[in-house]
Amino acid sequence: MPTTCQASESLIGSLCREMAALRQSWQLLNGHLTTCRDSQLRQRLGREAAHLQRRRLAIQGLARTMARLPLRDPLGASFLLEVASRPLPG
């Protein structure tokens, strides 16, 4: 059963890293949205912001599912759930 534990730990780690990258992208995107004057670019940035928000919600759903699984070390799943549940900065 070590393969299952290693795979879930790897998945949790990957999703935590994705959340960190998503937050960085969100902050950068948010900065561009506040200074952008071109309407077409603002629309494109807005679509990207919506995509990031949907991905955060998808990761949050995965984290909820993982938190209910009988994992050997549930702390990683709990941490992922905490990170994914935080709203993106405004």
35-64 pLDDT, tens digit each: 999 999 999 999 999 999 999 999 999 999
Instruction: Give pTM, 2 decimals.
Output: 0.81
Q: Tell me, rounded to whole angstroms, the distance of Cα 28 from its chain centroid.
A: 15
pLDDT per residue over 61-79, tens digit each?
A: 999 998 888 887 788 889 9
3-state secondary structure 21-86: HHHHHHHHHHHHHHHCCCHHHHHHHHHHHHHHHHHHHHHHHHHHHHHHCCCCCCHHHHHHHHHHHC
Helices 2-35 and 39-68: angle between axes, nearest 10 degrees: 160
Which of 51, 90, 67 lies closest to 11 in space, CA to CA?
A: 67
